[in-house]
Structure 1
Amino acid sequence: MLVAELDRSSFRADFSASQPGIYRALLGDPASFLREDDVADLVRHHLLEAARVRVLRAGASIPVNSYSATRTHGGYSYPAPRPDLLSTILAGGATVVINGVDEVHQPCAGAARDLEAAVDCRVRVNAYASFSGLPGFELHWDDHDVLVTQVRGTKQWTYAPPSVPHPLPGAPGAHDEPAPDALRSTELVPGDVLYLPRGWWHRASATAGSSLHLTWSLSRPTAVDLIAWLATEAVHHPSARADLPVGVDADAVAVAKAAIAAVVDTPDLLGRFRRYLAGQGWDRSTAVLPWTSEPNADT
């Protein structure tokens, strides 16, 4: 459903050109992916570990022991949420973030699977619930594209172009914050969708009352990813395993280039790279328990 709705907008063109886009009233039922009660259930029934649930204020994580109690079962201790404490913290301006909602919530999993097939890249879904105008994160950028779907309430988004072309962590100048006059602003209401390509600076604040939105992280492979994968492939090539000549003269450069060419000039290079990437993703296939594939036994 999400893919069909995006196809009614200019998203495909914006995605191909890596240009931001705002698509108003795109989602007929934005809560079809995740509802308010789902958020409460996910927080209540999952361990309070940073990989899954975080509570933040202005970009800083609030210690788990501020809103949890330690429970022990079978010799294993774990933090369980205390609703009274968590409600107070959230009412005071904190944001609760649920990472990887598509791993634990079927409607998001199905939509993420369809989106992955449509845009040919990895997709991960996070949920952000806030209850005041304070931002959960300060101005920042991500190393992946972001697709925002507003589910409940309104949210003010401030965003600006990347500081350098095609930024990645560690790139010179990538973390230089934009000038104030480069900042843009828009308000999202339920059903609106915002697309921000990799590297675009952004922050978000609820404008009135509570707010719930989903971010669909779209991780597109880069040439840097290809080069990193080629380094693991190089061990299969004798010329790449050979010692380089001493020095930096023309002969040494020629040997180095020939070794690299031997790795690059192999059949179906990009196809194998794509299959490698596919194997690194979240397995969205349906788990079949042994007895579910057998006919019911007579009793």
Structure 2
Amino acid sequence: MSEGAPPDVIEIGTDVLANERVFRRAVMEACQPIIIRGAVSNWPVVRAAQTSLEALRAYLARFAMSRRAEAFVGDSVIAGRYTYTDRLDGFNFERVEMDLLGAFDQIVANAGRAGSPTVYMGSAETEAFLPGFSAENRTPAVPARIGPRIWIGNASNISCHNDTFDNIACVIAGQRTFTLYPPDAVADLYVGPVDYTMAGRPISLASGAVGQEARYPRFAGAERRASVARLMPGDALYLPKLWWHQVEATAPVNVLINYWWDGWSIGPDAPDTTMLLAMIAIAERPPAERAAWKAMFDHYVFRSEGHPLAHMPEARHGILGPLRDGNYGLIRARVMQLLRDI
């Protein structure tokens, strides 16, 4: 690592992948990114990719359906950096429907031609596009109900964004470099629109922008807090929800498998939904009132000083008792009733 470069992400051994319980305790509870070297090096798809691109294609073809999905196709001038146009009124790539093997073939063809366009197909559910694939390529750390997704492409630089799910990203072919920023760097990243995005999540306008220091002066603060995860085939990265990440795939042909799930959910309600509701209920109230609601959220939701009813017997905590003891359903019913009455 050169002087002044972001530090690398911490690495740990594959023993943490033994089962869901071990992984939650050893990795997920800390909510910090972790590299697991060789996590999936024994997967058949990784072994095929290490043999040759032809062997990798043949392996994928065993499962591939003709179902079509959206791919990003960019001119060579963008060098695989898919993002907004300068005016933020469009994107610098086209969206093209193609099947997974067709996309793979185009990616391989592009890799051998100078000045050719780049192709990127992401987040394709293997259950829909490669049925049977997950049975041969799994990790016991992830709940069995969670299906993997496949991402394939030429060399690319995916704009910095975050996700509302926990993530294990497994490199199958090529190399990936993740530049990571903690969740509380959000104000320094100059995040773009939340409802006009490339693929569902808002992106940082500052990360990856060249010669824009004057436009995004606070980004230097985010850069000082960045860390880097460099992954080779067979490696995996655990990425907690809300960590910002810019992802660079550096090989001519790159394949990644990932799993998204909420490791702490006990019901269908998501924190992101709560935040959207809070935005319309609180965001434009007077500053003094917002501060008052912040104090209430800190006390009842974030609980930095412990349980809000710690001064009372647990038997008298009512719906503020443990959610798994039936209080989840009671609170949810109360919220739904309040929303219906509006």
TM-score, length of structure 2 as denominator length: 0.48
Q: Which letter does structure 1 place at the counterpart of 2:119?
A: A
For 1:143, the equivalent position in structure 2 comes to 164
Identical columns (%): 18
Match of 1:125 among 148, 160, 173: 148
Between the aligned partners of 2:150 and 2:122, the Cα distance in structure 1 is 6
Query: Secondary structure of the equivalent of 1:45?
Result: coil
Counterparts in 2 of 1:154 and 1:29: CA distance versus 1, 3 Å: same
Q: How does 1:173-192 map to 2 (within 5 A)?
A: 179-192=222-235
Superposed CA offset, 1:211-264 (max 9, x none): 2111111223278917999xxxxxxxxxxxxxxxxxxxxxxxxxxxxxxx9988
Counterparts in 2 of 1:207 and 1:113: CA distance versus 1, 3 Å: closer
Counterparts in 2 of 1:181 and 1:223: CA distance versus 1, 3 Å: farther
Cα RMSD after superposing both structures: 4.7
Between the aligned partners of 1:25 and 1:272, the Cα distance in structure 2 is 41
For 1:99, the equivalent position in structure 2 comes to 124
How far the C-alpha of 1:209 sits from its partner, in A, is 3.2
Counterparts in 2 of 1:224 and 1:21: CA distance versus 1, 3 Å: same
TM-score, length of structure 1 as denominator length: 0.54
Q: Please tell me whether the aligned partners of residues 63 and 131 of structure 2 are also in contact (alpha carbons under 8 angstroms).
A: no
Superposed CA offset, 1:166-222 (max 9, x none): xxx98xxx9777622222112111121110100011122223332211111122327
Query: Secondary structure of the equivalent of 1:217?
Result: strand
Between the aligned partners of 1:6 and 1:100, the Cα distance in structure 2 is 22
For the pair 1:203 / 2:273, whether they are aligned, the reply is no
For 1:7, the equivalent position in structure 2 comes to 18
How far the C-alpha of 1:19 sits from its partner, in A, is 1.6
Between the aligned partners of 2:257 and 2:104, the Cα distance in structure 1 is 22
Q: How does 1:1-299 map to 2 (within 5 A)?
A: 6-7=17-18, 12-32=25-45, 36-37=56-57, 41=61, 45-50=65-70, 54-55=71-72, 57-59=80-82, 62-64=94-96, 81=102, 92-103=117-128, 104-109=130-135, 114-117=140-143, 123-132=146-155, 134-135=156-157, 137-163=158-184, 179-220=222-263, 221=265, 225=269, 268-269=325-326
Counterparts in 2 of 1:112 and 1:218: CA distance versus 1, 3 Å: farther
For 2:333, the equivalent position in structure 1 comes to none
Between the aligned partners of 1:227 and 1:198, the Cα distance in structure 2 is 11
How far the C-alpha of 1:33 sits from its partner, in A, is 7.2
Unmatched runs of 5 consecutive residues or more in structure 1: 69-79, 230-260, 274-299
Query: Secondary structure of the equivalent of 1:94?
Result: strand
Using the TM superposition, name which of 80-89 and 208-217 deviates more: 80-89
How far the C-alpha of 1:20 sits from its partner, in A, is 1.3
Q: Please tell me whether the aligned partners of residues 160 and 201 of structure 1 are also in contact (alpha carbons under 8 angstroms).
A: yes
How far the C-alpha of 1:89 sits from its partner, in A, is 5.6
Between the aligned partners of 1:138 and 1:147, the Cα distance in structure 2 is 18
Q: When you count strand as a share of all residues, which structure comes out higher?
A: 1
Counterparts in 2 of 1:26 and 1:224: CA distance versus 1, 3 Å: closer
For 2:89, the equivalent position in structure 1 comes to none
Unmatched runs of 5 consecutive residues or more in structure 2: 1-13, 49-55, 74-79, 84-92, 187-192, 195-201, 207-218, 274-316, 331-342
